[in-house]
Amino acid sequence: MSEETIRIMCPSLVCRKVLAVPVEARGKTVKCRACGTRIRIPESSAGAKPADNKPSAEKQAPPANAA
């Protein structure tokens, strides 16, 4: 099991199967075996980065000034 794979979900709202494709498929189009939808595999795994949970300054309300 030394072969690496990319796990990607079928974008079809009816199907939503999780596919395991080889890393060599990056940048190529594959076909879902369950529903036949064609799926473009991303070039890099940039979407796999964990989300930053820190609140941004834009989302915080400014402090109210009491006069």
User: Tens digits of per-residue pLDDT, 29-38?
Assistant: 999 999 999 9
| DSSP-assigned letter for residue 54 | S
Residues 33 and 23 sit within 8 Å (Cβ to Cβ): no
Res. 67 pLDDT band, cuts 50 70 90 = low
**pLDDT at site 65:** 72
- With a CB cutoff of 8 Å and minimum separation 6, the contacts of 11 are 37, 39
Residues 35 and 15 sit within 8 Å (Cβ to Cβ): yes
CA nearest neighbour of 41 among 17, 9, 2, 1: 9
Separation between Cα atoms, residue 41 and residue 47, nearest integer Å:
11
